[in-house]
Chains A and B, each alone.
Chain A
């Protein structure tokens, strides 16, 4: 009988090894590669947040950079004008991005995938153009905002890339932990059902519109918080960092990765890290990237690492059967 399962049991050593490698990596890398790893970390954070929307709920969102921008700009404006410490602004950035997502998605969340895709493309363009047009005199137009303060944790000022490496990959780790718990819950299950067949989901009692909205707002507010980390690292932000193209790359990272968290992080490495490795072939980079995506879609359309199934502790069944002295298998 294979019913008794220990959830996550076998995964623990593998995760521990990965954390060790991630912790020791900056000690062997040079400045340049640490900087690349920091960018990949931000990409991974954003891809994980998009994964809740796209991978788990199946909502086609190609405007994710819009929420990243909202978080980054809220952080930049509040920090430069009111001198609020950057990391304290994480909740504000998350809330602002989440609120924007709520307002925007509420009327369109019931739309079919392709229509939704077009609307989200519209959103990211609207946000970018609004930032360039210096809405409310707050965003600094095309030049953006300068002089965002460095973050401080327990009195340590985070300045060097190696420090950002630990900050951002720590955030990635926390995100993986929280989102994998979310996945193994009522909400995560509901999203899987909706992605599979939304009419059946509604018909068996799942509030489809509410769950989709929940996923959209959560993913967006997470992207907003990633925006805070981005603003803190760059100290200068401008509309050029939040284009439609950035949204497409995030979309590609999630689709390429296949929807599991490990897959999505791998996808972020491929999309944001690989181009750096092939910098010598700069002119052919996009060609290779596009080709790789096409090949991928043909030979493995489900992505590199599609999500596995959730585990449930049904051990009580065999205990009960033993107690009843029932020999059925």
Chain B
């Protein structure tokens, strides 16, 4: 079976620094996959390569057998890969509802003329998009803030809104870059439930996270990077007992 996502010998360097060095891994459909590793291990670079923000120097990235290399980020979103950003990137002055509608944009068809004349098809599509956006906000629990500006939300809620925006684009794979970053305990608990609920919708989740408790709790598979090289991958228990991983990462904590 063709894997959902596969990286094949992907290399990316910035000047003299090799951020990602000959990394290969596969992500099968369904489940929650974590990418972990010390700071500067190249985790976010891997995400940016998958989402089209960077182009790899070498190697190939396949999504359901289609190469993502050379595609623009918005094309990759319409293929079914949605993302959130490490430093939250919402549209702060726009209402919460419109932030989610932005994620719906790539599934809508109304062109310039239909939009200027509000054709019946355009109205139908718009109504359906608003309903869908509201459903996604219900899913993440932000219905009470529909008309608030995104910039006025609490930090944790902004993270949730970013996830709702990503979900609105009907992804098969959702990539979360440090979703629990700067979240407090109760917020993290909400996030854990949400990530599982996303998986239960049949959407594969890939996440970068520093909170090892959270990673071990939710992830079904882990990929470990160090200095841009993959040093281990497998189920959390196996990775936890891998001596290279303990040395590189977990060992530092204990």
Residues in chain A within 8 A of chain B (CB atoms): 2-3, 178-179, 181-182, 184-190, 192-193, 196-197, 199-209, 214, 218, 309-310, 312-314, 316-317
By the criterion CB–CB under 8 Å, are A312 and B97 in contact?
yes
B146 CB to nearest chain A CB (Å): 6
By the criterion CB–CB under 8 Å, are A192 and B94 in contact?
yes
A311 CB to nearest chain B CB (Å): 9
B residues less than 8 Å from A201 (CB atoms): 91, 102
A113 CB to nearest chain B CB (Å): 18
By the criterion CB–CB under 8 Å, are B146 and A3 in contact?
yes
By the criterion CB–CB under 8 Å, are B82 and A204 in contact?
yes
Which residues of B, 59-75, contact A by the 8 Å Cβ criterion?
A: 72-74
Q: A3-B146, A214-B112, A312-B130 are in contact. Are A203 and B101 (CB under 8 A)?
A: no
In the assembled complex, the Cα of A193 lies from the Cα of B93 at a distance in Å of: 9
In the assembled complex, the Cα of A181 lies from the Cα of B114 at a distance in Å of: 10
B169 interface residue per 8 A CB criterion: yes
B residues less than 8 Å from A310 (CB atoms): 95, 98
A181 contacts which of B78, B83, B118, B130 (Cβ < 8 Å)? B118
In the assembled complex, the Cα of A207 lies from the Cα of B131 at a distance in Å of: 23
In the assembled complex, the Cα of A181 lies from the Cα of B129 at a distance in Å of: 17
In the assembled complex, the Cα of A178 lies from the Cα of B119 at a distance in Å of: 12
Which residues of B, 81-113, contact A by the 8 Å Cβ criterion?
A: 82-83, 85, 89-95, 97-98, 101-103, 105-106, 108, 110-112
By the criterion CB–CB under 8 Å, are A196 and B77 in contact?
no
A residues less than 8 Å from B116 (CB atoms): 178-179, 181-182, 185
By the criterion CB–CB under 8 Å, are B169 and A204 in contact?
yes
Q: A202-B73, A204-B102 are in contact. Are A196 and B130 (CB under 8 A)?
A: no
B residues less than 8 Å from A316 (CB atoms): 131
Quick one: CB contact mask for B120-162 with A, threshold 8 Å, 1 for yes? 0010011101110010000000010011000000000000000
By the criterion CB–CB under 8 Å, are B102 and A190 in contact?
yes
In chain A, what residue has the closest Cβ to B144? A329
In chain B, what residue has the closest Cβ to A177? B116
By the criterion CB–CB under 8 Å, are A314 and B74 in contact?
no
A205 contacts which of B91, B106, B126 (Cβ < 8 Å)? B106
Quick one: CB contact mask for B33-77 with A, threshold 8 Å, 1 for yes? 000000000000000000101000000000000000000111001
Q: A193-B102, A196-B93, A204-B169 are in contact. Are A186 and B82 (CB under 8 A)?
A: no
By the criterion CB–CB under 8 Å, are A203 and B53 in contact?
yes
- With A193-B98, A196-B91 known, 16 other A-B pairs at CB within 8 A are A181-B115, A182-B115, A182-B116, A185-B114, A185-B115, A186-B126, A190-B105, A193-B102, A200-B89, A203-B83, A204-B165, A205-B102, A205-B105, A206-B74, A206-B102, A207-B72
By the criterion CB–CB under 8 Å, are B112 and A182 in contact?
yes
B residues less than 8 Å from A202 (CB atoms): 72-74
In the assembled complex, the Cα of A185 lies from the Cα of B129 at a distance in Å of: 11
Please report whether the interface of chain A is mostly helix, strand, loop or mixed according to DSSP: helix
B residues less than 8 Å from A192 (CB atoms): 91, 94, 98
In the assembled complex, the Cα of A188 lies from the Cα of B118 at a distance in Å of: 12
In chain A, what residue has the closest Cβ to B130? A312
B52 CB to nearest chain A CB (Å): 9
B residues less than 8 Å from A208 (CB atoms): 74
In the assembled complex, the Cα of A314 lies from the Cα of B126 at a distance in Å of: 12
- Most chain B CB neighbours (cut-off 10 Å) among A186, A190, A203: A203
By the criterion CB–CB under 8 Å, are A205 and B103 in contact?
yes
In the assembled complex, the Cα of A148 lies from the Cα of B229 at a distance in Å of: 72
By the criterion CB–CB under 8 Å, are A186 and B110 in contact?
yes
In the assembled complex, the Cα of A51 lies from the Cα of B165 at a distance in Å of: 28
In the assembled complex, the Cα of A204 lies from the Cα of B52 at a distance in Å of: 12
In chain B, what residue has the closest Cβ to A316? B131
In chain A, what residue has the closest Cβ to B133? A312
A186 contacts which of B89, B94, B103, B115 (Cβ < 8 Å)? B115
In chain A, what residue has the closest Cβ to B89? A200
In the assembled complex, the Cα of A202 lies from the Cα of B101 at a distance in Å of: 14
B166 interface residue per 8 A CB criterion: yes
B residues less than 8 Å from A178 (CB atoms): 116-117
By the criterion CB–CB under 8 Å, are B110 and A189 in contact?
no
In the assembled complex, the Cα of A193 lies from the Cα of B95 at a distance in Å of: 11
Question: Which 6 residue pairs are nearest across A and B when measured between Cβ atoms?
Answer: A205-B106, A205-B77, A185-B115, A200-B89, A196-B91, A187-B115
In the assembled complex, the Cα of A203 lies from the Cα of B106 at a distance in Å of: 11
By the criterion CB–CB under 8 Å, are A189 and B102 in contact?
yes
By the criterion CB–CB under 8 Å, are A188 and B115 in contact?
yes
Q: A192-B98, A193-B91 are in contact. Are A206 and B130 (CB under 8 A)?
A: no
Can you show 24 pairs from A to B with CB atoms below 8 A apart? A2-B147, A3-B147, A182-B112, A185-B114, A185-B118, A185-B122, A186-B125, A189-B102, A193-B91, A193-B98, A193-B102, A196-B91, A199-B89, A200-B91, A201-B102, A203-B83, A204-B82, A204-B105, A204-B166, A205-B78, A205-B82, A205-B106, A314-B134, A317-B134
